[in-house]
Structure 1
């Protein structure tokens, strides 16, 4: 996942659309794919925030 994808998932202005796309293209496992994507986006965000704190 790219940083831009993580932003789309976590930004309230774009999250519904981004998560809807993930669920749609995930087919029968759409809801599971949404959870995985949210977890990954959160991990990316936390990593960036931790790097920022070190600076």
Structure 2
């Protein structure tokens, strides 16, 4: 579980993560159909990763 937290933190620190324009309904289906548990059904989830610029 610690590895999952570490990888998630590293991804958030390195990338700007967003949903593609015009695909909000697909993203809502992914989050709306999930039960409140750790195991989830897997739906396609379109995500954009843009590398952050470090100054």
What range is the shorter-chain TM-score in?
under 0.3
Which is higher, the Rg of structure 1 or of structure 2?
Answer: 2
TM-score by length of 2: 0.28
TM-score by length of 1: 0.28
- Larger relative contact order (Cα-Cα within 8 Å, sequence gap ≥ 6): 2
The structure with the greater share of residues assigned to strand is 2
